[in-house]
């Protein structure tokens, strides 16, 4: 016997009769704690109590031990009126379910949000090269992107905060569900429902654009008459998986756009990646994101698998960075000013020792400004004199010393 199932059935029947645990216990000459243990599945009623308990609930002993009605309840209680209370918490769950049932829109909204955020930052960064108030335009685009990102998250919360608890009444028989809403009765044939969404506490029957809420126990009674497909309302774990898939997919697409944009446009305009190894990291990250998306949709995710995936990904990216450093032709020297307003980017050719000075522009890109005249430069050291001036000292191949001043801003 399933103690949990029987306990839930006792709880449902007790509430259906309008009894508290204490009142039911008094009828049976038991304590409310004993009734509570039955309903939680910790223990079962003594066999001597089963006939009396079944009589109170107007069911058979078999139904009590099976934890469900053997015959259609309405045949015994034809005029029963059932009530479902939709709370703000349940309503918010419904809103999130509706949101996640349209995953394609979540993918599109998140992708557009990040495109606007990074695109706006690009406009903001271009202000140093062009006028036309690109910094203001960039900030407006960034704000639009952030708004797009948070709207799907905040909208259900805001709607649920204004929602008032609603009570729905209904009756049912072997052919129809009669729903009472706003004082009007509407009769629905079971064959008219084209979908059913099921949670741990309630179900939603869909008839065209109408949503009918019923208790889970009532659904169990009428389920044999329903032919529509059933979908479980999304759980917190499923939401986490979907959010992870959206984030990974968005990351893959953004990095792919970045990689294509770099080779098609930025490279031809003289822009380079600050670190040459970043190109390997971008490609590996795209592949990893795609593989992880597939993995989390196929296997059971728990804390151990999540930590394993994150740890493995970090190890692969670190290994990629270290190994790819042996294949690139340039060494990068990078430093940021004390107030974070300027960034020094120097690239030294491994074969000739020649150094090029770059100015940081956007994200992971920089553009070459000048080259050192000397070749075979060794022992480089840098020091910020001010927030827009860096002192670079180096040793030439003949042993003599040289200096170079990198300046930024006005």
The CATH number that applies at residue 31 is 1.10.260.40
How many domains does one find in the chain?
Answer: 5
pLDDT band at 273 (very low <50, low <70, confident <90, very high): very high
| Residue 357 domain flag | yes
* Segment 345-352 mean pLDDT: 86
CA distance 30 to 21: 10
Where in the sequence is the domain holding 361, given as residue range(s)? 330-407
Domain check: are 262 and 306 in the same one?
yes
pLDDT score for 284: 96
Instruction: Give the distance, in angstroms, between the CA of residue 169 and the centroid of all CA atoms in the same chain.
Output: 35
CA dihedral 251, 246, 109, 126 (to 10 degrees): -10
pLDDT of res. 94: 84
Question: In this structure, is residue 379 part of a structural domain?
Answer: yes
Q: Are residues 241 and 309 in the same domain?
A: yes
Residue 75 lies in a domain: no
Task: Say what the pLDDT of residue 130 is.
Answer: 63
* Res 119: pLDDT: 82
- Alpha-carbon distance of 206 to 198, in angstroms, equals 11
pLDDT digits (tens, 9 = 90+) for 147-178: 988 988 888 888 888 888 888 889 888 888 99
> Does 66 reside within a domain?
yes
Whether 24 and 60 share a structural domain: yes
Instruction: Judge if 244 and 199 occupy the same domain.
Output: no
SS3 for 271?
A: strand
In a domain, 77, yes or no: no
Q: How far apart are CA 313 and CA 292, in angstroms?
A: 9
Say if residue 247 is in the same domain as residue 319.
Answer: yes
Residue 292 confidence (pLDDT) above 90: yes
Kindly state whether residue 374 falls inside one of the protein's structural domains: yes
Identify which of 83, 69, 127, 104 has the alpha carbon closest to the alpha carbon of residue 409: 127
| Residue corresponding to tokens 């927030």 | 387
The pLDDT > 90 percentage for the chain reads 20
- Asked whether residue 214 is assigned to any structural domain, the reply reads yes
Same domain membership, residue 227 and residue 171: yes
pLDDT of the residue at 70? 67
Question: Do 342 and 319 fall into the same domain?
Answer: no
242, 318: one domain: yes
Are both 21 and 42 inside the same structural domain?
yes
Domain end, chosen from 121, 139, 161, is at 161
For 396, the token pair is 């030439």
What pLDDT is recorded for position 78?
Answer: 46
Residue 25 predicted with pLDDT over 80? yes
Domain match, 98 and 30 both? no
At 274 the pLDDT is 92
Same domain, 7 and 19: yes
| Residue 25 in domain | yes
Q: Give yes or no: residues 248 and 190 share one domain.
A: no
Domain boundary among 324, 350, 369: 324
Range in 142-151, 269-278, 394-403 the model is least confident about: 394-403
Whole-prediction pTM: 0.64
Range from 62-66, 124-128, 228-232, 235-239 carrying the lowest mean pLDDT: 124-128
Of the given ranges (5-9, 250-254, 359-363, 384-388), which has the lowest mean pLDDT?
A: 359-363
Token couple for 310: 């994150």
User: 294, 324, 354: which is the final residue of a domain?
Assistant: 324
């Amino acid at each position: 016997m399933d103690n949990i199932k029987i306990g839930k059935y006792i709880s449902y029947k007790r509430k259906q009769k309008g009894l508290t645990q204490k009142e039911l216990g008094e009828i049976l000459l038991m304590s409310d704690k004993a009734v509570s243990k039955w309903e939680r599945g910790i223990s079962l009623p003594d066999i001597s109590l089963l006939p009396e308990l079944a009589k109170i609930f107007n069911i058979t002993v078999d139904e009590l031990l099976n934890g469900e009605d053997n015959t259609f309840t309405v045949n015994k209680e034809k005029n029963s009126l059932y009530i479902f209370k939709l709370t703000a918490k349940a309503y918010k769950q419904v809103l999130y379910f509706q949101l996640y049932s349209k995953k394609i829109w979540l993918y599109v909204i998140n992708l557009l949000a990040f495109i606007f955020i990074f695109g706006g930052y690009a406009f903001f960064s271009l202000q140093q090269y062009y006028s036309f108030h690109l910094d203001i335009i960039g900030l407006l685009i960034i704000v639009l992107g952030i708004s797009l990102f948070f709207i799907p998250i905040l909208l259900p919360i805001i709607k649920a905060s204004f929602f008032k608890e609603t009570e729905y009444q209904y009756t049912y028989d072997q052919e129809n569900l009669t729903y009472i809403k706003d004082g009007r009765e509407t009769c629905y044939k079971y064959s008219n429902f084209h979908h059913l969404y099921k949670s741990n506490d309630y179900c939603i029957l869909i008839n065209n654009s109408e949503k009918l809420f019923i208790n889970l126990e009532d659904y169990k009674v009428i389920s044999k008459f329903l032919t529509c497909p059933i979908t479980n309302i999304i759980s917190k774990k499923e939401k986490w998986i979907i959010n992870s898939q959206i984030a990974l997919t968005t990351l893959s697409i953004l990095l792919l756009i970045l990689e294509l944009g770099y080779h098609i446009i930025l490279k031809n305009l003289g822009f380079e990646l600050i670190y040459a190894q970043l190109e390997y990291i971008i490609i590996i990250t795209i592949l990893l994101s795609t593989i992880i998306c597939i993995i989390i949709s196929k296997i059971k995710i728990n804390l151990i698998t999540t930590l394993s995936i994150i740890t493995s990904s970090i190890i692969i990216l670190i290994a990629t960075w270290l190994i790819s450093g042996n294949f690139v032709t340039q060494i990068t020297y990078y430093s940021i000013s004390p107030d974070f307003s300027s960034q020094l980017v120097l690239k030294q050719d491994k074969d000739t020792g020649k150094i090029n000075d770059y100015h940081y522009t956007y994200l992971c890109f920089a553009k070459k400004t000048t080259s050192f005249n000397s070749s075979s430069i060794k022992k480089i050291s840098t020091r910020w004199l001010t927030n827009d001036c860096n002192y670079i000292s180096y040793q030439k191949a003949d042993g003599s010393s040289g200096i170079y001043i990198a300046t930024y801003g006005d």
